[in-house]
Amino acid sequence: MKRIDFWGRDEYDERLLEEVLRGVKTVTCTPKVWYDQLPDEEKAEIGDIIQVFTKRNEHKANIQITDFYEIRFGEIQGEVGNRIAKGENSTLDEFIEDHIFSWEKPLKIDGYELNEDTLIIVEHFKITDIFTDVKIDLHLVPMSESERYKVANWTDFELFGEATDYFYSVYKEKEFVAFVRFRQNGLGTYMYYKVNPVFEGQIDEKLLILKAEKYAKENLLATNLIHEWSSIYTYHK
Per-residue pLDDT of the chain (237 residues; tens, 9 = 90+): 788 999 899 988 999 999 999 999 999 999 999 999 988 878 899 999 999 999 999 999 999 999 999 999 999 999 999 999 999 999 999 999 999 999 999 999 999 999 999 999 999 999 999 999 988 999 999 998 889 888 888 876 666 667 678 999 999 999 999 999 999 988 899 999 999 999 999 999 999 999 999 999 999 999 899 998 754 443 332
Evaluate whether 73 touches 103 at the Cβ level (below 8 Å).
no
Q: How far apart are CA 13 and CA 8, in angstroms?
A: 5
Please report, for residues 1, 44, 75, the alpha-carbon distance to residue 57 in angstroms, rounded to integers and kept in the order given. 14, 20, 34
CB burial string 89-101: b at 16+ within 10 A, e below: bbebeebbeebee
The structural domains of the chain, ordered by start, are 2-130 (3.10.400.10), 138-235 (3.40.630.30)
Query: 86: buried, middle or exposed (CB in 10 Å: 19+, 13-18, 0-12)?
Result: middle
DSSP 8-state class, residue 235: E
Q: Using alpha carbons only, how large is the chain's radius of gyration in Å?
A: 20
pLDDT of residue 164: 75
Q: By the 8 A CB rule, do 13 and 211 touch? A: no
**146 Cβ contact partners less than 8 Å away, ≥ 6 residues apart:** none
Residue 143: DSSP 8-state: P
Please say whether the dihedral angle defined by the alpha carbons of residues 47, 51, 54 and 55, taken in this order, is positive or negative: negative
Tell me, what's the pLDDT at 157?
Answer: 63
Which pLDDT value is given to residue 236? 35
Where is 108: in which H helix or E strand? helix 92-109
* Angle, alpha carbons 106-112-115 (nearest 5°): 95
Predicted pLDDT at 232: 44
For residue 104, the model assigns a pLDDT of: 95
- Specify the DSSP element, H or E, that contains 219: helix 205-219
**pLDDT of the residue at 204:** 92
pTM of the predicted structure, to 2 decimals: 0.85
**Chain-centroid distance, C-alpha 224:** 28
Helix H, strand E, coil C: the string for 74-107 is HHCCHHHHHHHHHHCCCCHHHHHHHHHHHHHHHH
Per-residue model confidence (pLDDT) at position 151: 87
